[in-house]
């Protein structure tokens, strides 16, 4: 038996795990007491990791057109068909759809192959569904996709505002840290702003059960209230920001009386004013937000409305202060770092970043290869599948994700996949909803087999370590990508023998011609040799000559990543959900995770004790709505939405607002006849970020 350190593969908290390995078996796991994300804690999902492993149900052999083949044949076929597609339809007829489950090294290699050498910008990721609005808002206001805070700021705050986040279920260890901090500091206050009464409310001093989608109105109202009550930090605003007048003017286009804001948000005026007063009168405020803010057709504006209030009060760049977006997936941030969004190029550089195209081209040039970089951004997730539907994209490579389930209007996505002439899927599991659409299936390694890095929500890079041998012929994603690249003639640029070499190259690119104008810089890690990479301890970026030990908090000097160093307050005009309620579909649909499951349950569904919490698809309904529909608790019911239906057992809940229902995102056709929440949602996206509006569907409810 030996012990090894690795990182949990589930949520964006990124907890350190101590794995006890007995030969070829993971005997048990415990929290890593030395990891700064969790200091020894694990939630129920993390602590069940050892129970979710095993060769059973794994993909172990490559398949081409339904026939098992050896790796050489599979890789030759991938290369040949990609090349044939490009020759017939152009570089931009090929695309990739990646995942926040990939390790940074896999992500880097895929981004380099598609954008650098296949010459297509159409590489996007399921992180588009998770964090794209937060990314766009940080860029607009702070000048870079740079989360200012650390987890310890939650513990140092006087006021923590949870908005659009059920932290207790979705980021449980962070919730535990917050709860402990609150116990230690009785003066700390917690405010929960959420349409549903969730378990996170257990530690709330104040709860605002707002109308879904009214978040921007609420924070715009707060900005105006702070101005009217003399609570703006005029010195900070003058020195470090611009755009206050425009942001204030936009907020004043609506009635800014407490009564009017409370009516629009459907909250109690006294509670609302109490929140405003608490926020305005404390300096050390952290506003922590997640998918309840991001997954909206105006998610970027909502994020900016929050950031505006922090800038206006100088509540940023200080211990215990700042706007803090929490990622859903374990490596949503690592994917952003390498350029894994279609609007990014590489190493946090966008296509329109000054000099970026030329810089990346030169960096990826080898003795005999010059990259063919696309000139501009590619299709974001929803657009990508629309382009497939139109026949513009003829070849798609999906890695470590399941768009047949998770994207809105999922039936249309399935039709597009069925129509696509070439679908390549890199996958760990033998039975997913996506595999029937695959022409070529490539068995990939999974957590506990893979080696690489992930970055959590506080910019902390941690190692995931290979502990067990892969089952059958499963291979690492970076190896598969490099082998295809070699067959396409790009071997010189993909001559990697180990993921540590990819990480070092990624680190070099982050610092390449970077005089400090790009915040993402981990160039101090580019000299790591194999031993150093293996031993890499968790560290927060930037990690460069100026901060060789990493960086806990950003923007402490009040200088932001904009060209003039000033943060921007953004004029926000609140908008309601794009999916309109109607007589036919009168109920507002909210979607999300349950505590003990992850994504489509391919891993967590294997641990019986994780199924005990919520064992089947359900529909959470307010008592009044249940009665109006003649439904009792545990009765079977059907939701009908934009593009399909969902069947589940009714859970009557007093925490649910009247006129709204909630369903979990995890169940797919494999587990239940009809419980795919993606089929209920229309594909409306935020115009800035491209993030789908997954929190605001419109549905009808009836008994079965």
The footprint of ligand SF4 (CB under 6 A) covers: 8, 10-11, 13-15, 38, 42-43, 45-46, 171-173
Q: Are 296 and 289 in contact (CB under 8 A)?
A: no
Question: Based on CB atoms, which residue is closest to ligand SF4, 15 or 519?
Answer: 15
User: At its nearest, how many Å lie between ligand SF4 and the CB of residue 165?
Assistant: 13
Q: Which is nearer to ligand SF4, 339 or 605 (CB)?
A: 605
Reduced to 3 DSSP states, what percent helix, strand and coil does the chain have, rounded to the nearest 5? 35, 20, 45
Q: Taking Cα atoms as reference points, which of 693, 689, 697 lies closest to residue 304?
A: 689
Rounded to whole angstroms, the Cα distance separating 129 from 577 reads 16
Residue 527 C-beta-side C-alpha neighbours within 13 Å: 5
Q: Give the CB-nearest residue to ligand SF4.
A: 46
Give me the least distance between CB of 637 and ligand SF4, in Å please.
Answer: 30
Sign of the C-alpha dihedral, residues 243, 249, 254, 257? positive
Using DSSP's 3-state secondary structure scheme, residue 7 falls into: strand
* Residue 427 CB, nearest approach to ligand SF4 (Å): 21
CB 40, min distance to ligand SF4, A: 11
Instruction: Pick between residue 31 and residue 164 the one whose CB is nearest to ligand SF4.
Output: 31
DSSP codes of every residue in 348-386: TEETTSTTHHHHHHHHH--SS------SS----HHHHHH
Between CA 490 and CA 578 the distance in angstroms is 44
Assess contact for 330 and 14: CB atoms under 8 A: yes
Nearer to ligand SF4, 41 or 414 (CB): 41
Cα atoms in the 13 Å half-sphere on the side-chain side of 636: 8
- What is the DSSP secondary-structure string of 635-699? -EEEEE-SS-EEEEEEEE-TTSPTTEEEEES---TTTSSS--GGGTS---B-TTT--B-TT-EEE
Q: To the nearest whole angstrom, how small is the minimum distance from the Cβ of residue 458 to ligand SF4?
A: 12
C-beta of 467: minimal distance to ligand SF4 in Å? 16
Question: Which is closer to ligand SF4, CB of 38 or CB of 300?
Answer: 38
Q: How far is it, in rounded angstroms, from Cα 122 to Cα 353?
A: 18
DSSP-assigned beta bridge partners for residue 4: 19
- In the complex, minimum distance from the CB of residue 680 to ligand SF4, in angstroms, rounded to a whole number: 26
Residue closer to ligand SF4 (CB basis): 15 or 675: 15
Q: Cα 132 to chain center, whole Å?
A: 7
Beta strand pairing call for 539-540 and 395-399:
unpaired
- Phi, psi (deg, nearest 5) at residue 104: -55, -40
- State in angstroms the smallest separation of the CB of 508 from ligand SF4: 29
By beta-carbon proximity to ligand SF4, the closer residue of 42 and 232 is 42
Cβ at position 46, least distance to ligand SF4 in Å: 2
DSSP β-bridge partners for residue 454: 462
Nearer to ligand SF4, 43 or 567 (CB): 43
Nearest in space to 99 (alpha carbons), one of 485, 403, 510: 403
Q: Closest CB to ligand SF4 among 209 and 335?
A: 335
CB of 566 to ligand SF4, least distance (A): 35
Nearer to ligand SF4, 4 or 206 (CB): 4
């Amino acid at each position: 038996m030996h012990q090894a350190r690795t990182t949990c593969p589930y949520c964006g908290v990124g907890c350190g795990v101590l794995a006890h390995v007995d030969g070829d078996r993971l005997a048990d796991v415990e929290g890593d007491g030395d990891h700064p994300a969790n200091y020894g804690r694990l939630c129920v999902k993390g602590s069940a990791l050892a129970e979710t492993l095993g060769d059973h149900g794994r993909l172990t052999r490559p398949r081409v057109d339904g026939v098992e083949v050896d790796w050489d044949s599979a890789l030759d076929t991938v290369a040949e068909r990609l090349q044939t597609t490009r020759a017939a339809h152009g570089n931009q007829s090929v695309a990739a759809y990646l995942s926040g489950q990939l390790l940074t090294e896999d992500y880097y290699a895929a981004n380099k192959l598609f954008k650098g050498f296949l010459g297509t910008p159409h590489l996007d990721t399921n992180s588009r569904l998770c964090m794209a609005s937060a990314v766009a808002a940080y860029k607009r206001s702070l000048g870079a996709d740079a989360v200012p805070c650390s987890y310890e700021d939650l513990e140092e705050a006087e006021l923590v505002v949870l908005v659009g986040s059920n932290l207790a279920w979705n980021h449980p260890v962070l919730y535990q840290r917050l709860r402990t901090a609150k116990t230690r500091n009785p003066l700390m206050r917690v405010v929960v702003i959420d349409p549903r009464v969730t378990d996170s409310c257990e530690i709330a001093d104040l709860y605002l059960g707002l109308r879904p989608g009214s978040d921007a109105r609420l924070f715009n109202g707060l900005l105006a209230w702070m101005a009217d009550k003399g609570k703006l930090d005029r010195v900070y605003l003058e020195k470090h920001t611009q755009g206050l007048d425009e942001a204030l003017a936009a907020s004043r286009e609506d009635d800014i009386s407490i009564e009017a804001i409370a009516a629009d948000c459907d909250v109690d005026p006294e509670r609302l004013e109490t929140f405003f007063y608490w926020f305005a009168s404390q300096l050390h405020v952290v506003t922590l937000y997640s998918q309840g803010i991001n997954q909206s057709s105006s998610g970027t504006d909502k994020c900016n409305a929050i950031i505006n209030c922090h800038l206006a009060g100088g509540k940023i760049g200080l211990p215990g202060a700042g706007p803090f977006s929490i990622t859903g997936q374990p490596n949503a941030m690592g994917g952003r770092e390498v350029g894994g969004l279609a609007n990014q190029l590489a190493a946090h550089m966008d296509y329109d970043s000054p000099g970026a195209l030329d810089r990346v081209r030169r960096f990826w040039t080898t003795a005999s290869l010059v990259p063919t970089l696309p000139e501009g951004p590619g299709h974001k997730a929803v657009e990508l599948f629309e382009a497939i539907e139109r026949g513009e994209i003829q070849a798609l490579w999906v890695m470590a994700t399941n768009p047949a389930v998770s994207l809105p209007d999922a039936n249309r996505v399935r039709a597009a996949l069925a129509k696509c002439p070439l679908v390549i899927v890199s996958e760990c599991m033998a039975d997913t909803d996506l595999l029937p659409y695959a022409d070529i299936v490539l068995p990939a390694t999974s957590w506990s087999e893979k080696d690489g890095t992930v970055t959590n929500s506080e910019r902390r890079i941690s190692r995931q370590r290979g502990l067990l041998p892969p089952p059958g012929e499963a291979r690492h994603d970076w190896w598969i990508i490099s082998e295809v690249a070699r067959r396409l003639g790009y071997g010189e640029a993909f001559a990697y023998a180990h993921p540590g070499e990819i990480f070092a190259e990624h680190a070099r690119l982050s610092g390449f011609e970077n005089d400090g104008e790009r915040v993402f810089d981990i160039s101090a890690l580019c000299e790591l040799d194999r031993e150093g990479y293996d031993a890499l301890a968790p560290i927060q970026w930037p990690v460069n000559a100026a901060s060789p030990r990493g960086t806990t908090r950003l923007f402490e000097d009040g200088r932001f990543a904009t060209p003039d160093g000033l943060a921007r307050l953004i004029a926000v005009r609140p908008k309601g959900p794009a999916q309109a309620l109607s007589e036919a579909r009168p109920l507002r649909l909210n979607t999300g995770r349950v505590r003990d499951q992850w994504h489509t349950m391919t891993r967590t569904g294997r641990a019986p004790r994780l199924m005990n919490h919520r064992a089947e698809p359900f529909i959470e309904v307010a008592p009044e709505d249940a009665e109006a529909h003649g439904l009792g608790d545990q009765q079977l019911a059907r939701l009908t939405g934009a593009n399909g239906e969902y069947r589940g057992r009714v859970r009557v809940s007093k925490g649910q607002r009247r006129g709204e229902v909630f369903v979990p995102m995890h169940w797919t056709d494999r587990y239940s006849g009809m419980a795919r929440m993606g089929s209920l949602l229309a594909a409306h996206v935020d115009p800035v970020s491209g993030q789908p509006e997954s929190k605001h569907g419109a549905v009808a409810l009836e008994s079965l």
